[in-house]
Structure 1
């Protein structure tokens, strides 16, 4: 069953750290069945406060999503995102 990780950037603290994350995150995809469905495109907020940005990535299943998220390659890169901004990240299985 397809699984998605939805990232919402709530607020930026350090753009330099976010730039470092953006420059390096693509390399963490190597060997993982990841498909980027949306990345910081225009938003139409329907409810609640607007996030600064939204990213949605698709995986074939939950183990594949966790394998990428928990990988040493991504966990090294994600430290830049943690220092650069406040995000929410949610893993959700499709129906």
Structure 2
């Protein structure tokens, strides 16, 4: 069953830290079976407090998603996102199609 990583950037706090995050996160993706579905595309926000953007990554399953997120290379990268922005991130399991 597919799993999705969803990250919502609410506010930029440090542009330089975010600039460091992007390349590090891309390197951390190498060797992991992830598929970017949406990355800071045009946003038509319907509800809630304004956000700056969002990312959705697809993984084959929750175990693969956790392996990527918990990997040393992504944990080294995510520190820059945490320093550079106010954001939320979560995993969402997809629907199983018979």
Normalised to the residue count of structure 2, the TM-score between the two structures is 0.94
Segments of 4+ moved more than 4 angstroms? none
Match of 1:15 in 2: 15
CA distance in 2, matches of 1:44, 1:30: 30
Match of 1:27 in 2: 27
RMSD: 0.7
CA distance in 1, matches of 2:70, 2:23: 19
User: What's the offset of the Cα at 1:25?
Assistant: 1.0
**How many residues are paired up?**
95
Per-residue Cα deviation, 1:34-80 (whole angstroms, up to 9, x for no partner): 00000000011111122101000000000000000000000001111
User: What's the offset of the Cα at 1:14?
Assistant: 0.2
CA distance in 2, matches of 1:86, 1:34: 24
What pairs up with 1:1-95 in 2 under 5 angstroms? 1-95=1-95
Please list every run of 5 or more consecutive structure 1 residues that lacks an aligned counterpart in the other structure: none
